[in-house]
Amino acid sequence: MLDDDWREHYRLSDLFVRTRELRHLDAAIEILEDWSETVEQDAEAWLATSFFGALASAMFKRFQVTNAREDLSRATATARRALKFDEGELVMRISVRAVYANALAIDAQERNDLATIDKALTVTRQAQDLVDPDMRHAEGLWVSAEVVAVPLLVARYHLTDDRQVLADAVRRGRALLTRSAPVFDETDRASVVAAMAIALNVKAEVEGDIALADEAVAFAARAAALPGSRPGDVLDRRSVHGQALLVRFRLAGDPDDVDRAVHIARSACPADPTQATTTPELMRVNSLAIAVYTRYTEQHAITDLRHAMELFMFVSEHPAATGTDRYLALNNLGVTMRTRYETSADESHLDIAIDSLARAVDGGGTEDTGTDHRSFAHRRWVLGMWAGLLRRRFERSGDPDDLVAAEAAVREALRQTVVRRERDQLGTALGHVLACRAASASPKEARALRGEVVELMRAGAAVDRSESPGLYAAARLNVAIALREHFEVGAPGAALAESISIAREIAESPRSSPRLRLDAADTWARAAWLVDTHDGLVDACTAAIDALPDLVRPGLERYGQEELLWRYRNLGMEGAAAALAVGDPETALLLLERGRAILWTQTLRADSEFARLEREHPKLATRLTALDGALHRLESLEDLSVKGRATESRLALVEQRRRVLAEIHRVEGFADYLSMPGSLALDQLPEDCTVLVPFGCRYGCAALIVDRSGVRSVDLPITAARVGLAFAVLFGAAETILRVPSRAEVKEAHRAVVDLLAALYDEVAGPALDAAGIGEPALDEPLPRVWWSPAGLLSFLPLHAAGVHDDALPRAVLDRAVSSYTPTVRDLLGEPPRPVEGRTAVVCPPRIGDLDLLSGARDEAEGVLELVPDAVRLFDEDATADRVLAVLPTASWVHLACHGMQDPSNPAEAGFVLADRTLLLSELSRRVPLPGAVAVLAACDTARGGTLVADEAVTLVAAARFAGFTHVIGSLYTADDTATREVMRTLYLAARESPDGSVDIARTLHEAVRTARAESGARRPYFWAGLIHSGR
């Protein structure tokens, strides 16, 4: 009877193999399951071995079709029953072990359980030991076990960091693939090829070997093209292919690799990755997120960063994620949120990063406490990063618990390693934590802690310079910082001298990456200030400013440029303060001009100039773009590269770029393309032009007075801290006036603005005007013109409206001069302004979504049309972005009565809200050449830049200036409708009465604002103080 059912079982199994219909396999399994109890109790051992071996094999085949864990568990348990008897023919005993090893291997790799991996390896070894060389199919049986062993060895390496295990996996995999085709089928070969791809990929990354990375990519591509034994195998191999491309990208920097990695990883996921439901799908989504984040680090596209954050968060919270995948997702979520914090300064992102890493350190929050989801080295790495973020939060919040947790995390990581290099790196992390402790310690304890930090940093600097020049320089810079801080608590002067020597060497070395040069120059500057060597401080700031354009070359997304510049803000002002300390106001102006408005030069100006270069000389434009992209990619890799390959490649590219720029500069009309000023031709300033350049930083506050005769300066009785407070007061008051219904609070906010304007006059504007020789004019004399070019947070404040506006005793800038603004002094040099003549365009979109049209905007726009009846009218649904862009080249005067959207933390995303979409700042700056004379931006926040990089003139007003308009009228903050409408009426009346285009825009606006002041009274200057004129 059993013989008949056994034959039927094999017939059905064979039918399943030919048809792949699961019902045949289920029937075959059911037949044997009916006999299982009888066989286990009554059959001889050899028969029970064969019986349960056949049943286990059938159940494992079912798992290969369904990918269901229940089927895998049944196959594992049945194989174990067969091994309990373990007698009979060797072939059957070997086959049973093969099934058991395969089932254990899949379970072990999904759970990353070291004990199960070792058990599976033991079973494969037992199977191979049973193979008799003389038996039939001996080689095939041995190979079938080896096919299981190779990927298990790779998995074991991930949990143990044992490089010998990794080397063994590669060796055995290579040997296995030399076997002839008949020995094992295509699915087995695919399994080995995929395992080899993983092993070589890891080995390439560990050893920094590009040749191994090339081989890993080749193996991964080959594996992805081979058939799989179960659903998802091919998709898993695609994911491996993407991972191999990422490793090669990190080592070689080929941009095509990272783009291909994202494309391949995406093809392995559901169309919407956030719809993944199974464990294998979540593993592949994790891989996609890693690829997307890697591309962000290379291209700095904020959409990639946000997408990666979304995917990591999705996997980390998904109930189907394994402990390993949840751990990896939490770890990577911590990394991405740390990056998001660095780009936004939003502390909530830092909190999420710390929480994610804390959960990762805890094991990913898995309930399976018996499983270790982390390799020892990786867990130490996570502990180190978690400690670093806790330390950074402590530096912002001062919460001592964060510092205690950070120190505990680093010390735990140190206890887990005996590898000297790793201990030195963790020692560096501990040094940073101890440096924070020292900042609040007693003098005696601080000296001891600072001394310990120096020793930890020296140990961390024991890097082979030839192996990794970037890491070597970064580690040496840590030593320089530690020495400077040690000097500050009483170490001998030799410590400071050594700090300056190290920092200067790194800052001035062309072999240092731009970021390292900047960090080193900042350290050098701080040290030079301590010993009152202002000449050294000027040299240090000059070195830093020289490196800034290399850090934010065109081609890097503007958001990424702002992110990088935020880390090095205030350099121009600090260099200017140092130059003034040695009595050199001309150098102060030059450093300020070069150190601020980098984005102005590299993006807005570059956008318009590049558009012209692309039109007139497309080959040069293409070459420059390719070099900029290649340089950015290499610099993002350089600090981690081995044997200095990235450094050598970067230096070669820098030289190529220098030659291309020299070629562009020889072309007529492009002599200054992407050039920072080496000097300023002040004799090209307009006649009777006085530019006032107030600034404030940690080294002092001053104003430069610039005219055709040269540059002089005056110290200002304000501090950088008070400037920051004034900024907070102004925009806090604005929020209250606009949003708070309480009359008492609104009255208090207006009072705060009155007091602020008085203080600005006494501490900034008044002293600057006095130093410029601009006093109270006689009644019959026209007011002189001045241009304000404030730096830092002063650029947010209404200096033109500073003063006491009381009717009895007016003492204000409005009564001493006609004010305009300019983002840089350089912008005033060159061609004289064009006459204000030609057609006018008036733009007024409808209500957009949740944004109400400014209540007075439509009345204002209709009023303009009454005064200029032949103007081009773009109202309501006609006010689309494309139509506005189309009319710009033909309009001399453009009036935009709409919402201006500005994010102070990300000014690059600013624009005007039109009928169909937001017209971005970047689109305005690319519309060249334009004949426009006047742009009236009757929207809120059009003259306000970003708070992260306040020195950067990236505003809607700036965009309109570079788009070609001679005069731009905008607002520092949300405009008041009534005051704006009346000012605009005065402005357009004056234009109508000057048909020859000779209207003086700046003076007309000035008089209109003075009229508004007289009508609204001195107690509410907020309503009229925001309107400004920018331009010639």
Structural domain count of the chain: 4
Which among 265, 294, 314 is the end of a domain? 265
pLDDT of residue 692: 96
Mean pLDDT for the chain overall: 80
Do 256 and 279 share a domain, yes or no? Answer: no
Say if residue 954's pLDDT is above 60: no
Task: Check whether residue 716 and residue 849 sit in a common domain.
Answer: no
Q: What is the CATH number of the domain that holds 707?
A: 3.30.420
The answer to whether position 165 is within a domain reads: no
Residue 1001 and residue 868 in one domain: yes
Q: Could you report the per-residue pLDDT of 986-1026, keeping only the tens digit for each? A: 888 887 777 655 678 888 889 888 888 887 766 778 888 88
Judgement on whether residues 716 and 803 belong to the same structural domain of the protein: yes
First to last CA, the chain: 105
Instruction: Supply φ then ψ for residue 842, to 5 degrees.
Output: -120, 125
Q: Which of 519-528, 536-545, 804-813 has the lowest mean pLDDT?
A: 804-813
Segment 110-138 shows an average pLDDT of: 82
Percent of the chain surpassing pLDDT 90: 20
pLDDT at residue 641 in the model: 42
Residues 231 and 295 in one domain: no
- Do 358 and 280 have their domain in common? yes
Is 633 a member of any domain? no
Does residue 892 contact residue 839 with C-beta atoms inside 8 Å? yes
Tens digits of residue pLDDT in 214-250: 999 998 898 888 776 556 778 888 888 999 999 888 8
Q: Is the pLDDT of residue 947 over 50?
A: no
Q: What is the pLDDT at residue 1010?
A: 87
To which residue do tokens 């103080």 refer? 1025
Q: Does 818 lie in the same domain as 695?
A: yes
Please state, in angstroms and rounded to a whole number, the distance separating the CA atoms of residues 364 and 379: 11
Domain assignment present for residue 570? The answer is no
Question: Could you tell me if residue 668 is inside a domain?
Answer: no
Query: Which CATH number fits the domain that encloses residue 970?
Result: 3.40.50.1460
Note the residue count of the chain.
1032
Residues 203 and 273 reside in one and the same domain:
no
**Cβ proximity of 352 and 339 under 8 Å:** no
CA–CA separation, 472 and 1018 (whole Å)? 61
Higher pLDDT, 162 or 650: 162
Determine, yes or no, domain membership for 534.
Answer: no
Instruction: Please indicate, yes or no, whether residues 894 and 938 belong to a single structural domain of this protein.
Output: yes
Average pLDDT over residues 464-489: 85
pLDDT category at 905 given cuts 50, 70, 90 is very low
Alpha helices (runs of H) in 67-185, residue ranges in sequence order: 69-85, 90-111, 114-130, 138-160, 163-177
Rounded CA-CA distance 943/900 in Å is 10
Query: Between 98 and 264, where is the model more confident?
Result: 264
Which is more confident, 633 or 783?
783
For residues 706-718, average pLDDT: 93
pLDDT, tens digit (0-9, with 9 covering 90-100), for 269-295: 999 999 998 888 898 999 999 999 988
541 backbone dihedrals φ, ψ, rounded to 5°: -65, -35
Domain hosting residue 937, numbered range: 834-1031
Q: How far apart are CA 164 and CA 574, in angstroms?
A: 53
**What is the DSSP secondary-structure string of 450-477?**
HHHHHHHHHHHT---TTT-HHHHHHHHH
Residues 702 and 821 in one domain: yes
Tell me which of 351, 370, 389 is where a domain ends: 370
The answer to whether residue 690 is domain-embedded is: yes
What is the rounded distance in angstroms from the CA atom of residue 311 to the CA atom of residue 333? 9
Same-domain check for residues 249 and 275: no
Backbone φ, ψ for residue 695 (5° rounding): -155, 160
- Say which range, 392-396, 489-493, 640-644, 751-755, has the weakest mean pLDDT: 640-644
Same domain, 869 and 944: yes
Distance CA 462, CA 723 (A): 43
Which pLDDT band, with edges at 50, 70 and 90, does 784 fall under? very high
- pLDDT tens per residue, range 852-894: 445 567 777 888 888 888 888 999 889 888 888 888 777 888 8
The span from the CA of 763 to the CA of 775, in Å, is 16
Each residue's pLDDT tens digit, 580-598? 988 999 999 988 888 775 6
Domain boundary among 783, 809, 827: 827
The HSE-up count of residue 216 (CA atoms within 13 Å, CB side) is 31
Strand order in the sheet with 911-913: 899-901, 911-913, 918-920
Query: At residue 981, does pLDDT exceed 50?
Result: yes
What is the token pair recorded at 5?
A: 């059912």
Biggest alpha carbon–alpha carbon distance for the chain: 125
DSSP reduced 3-state for 375: coil
| Residue given tokens 């990208």 in the structure block | 249
Residue 748 scores a pLDDT above 60: yes
Asked if the bond preceding 929 is cis, omega within 30° of 0, the reply is yes
Per-residue pLDDT tens digits for 11-51: 888 888 788 788 888 888 888 888 888 888 888 888 888 88
The confidence score (pLDDT) of residue 194 equals 82
CB neighbours of 549 closer than 8 A, spacing ≥ 6?
598, 601, 602, 674, 676
Mean pLDDT in residue range 320-339: 87
Does residue 571 lie in a domain region? no
Does 546 map to a domain?
Answer: no
Better-predicted residue by pLDDT, 259 or 680: 259
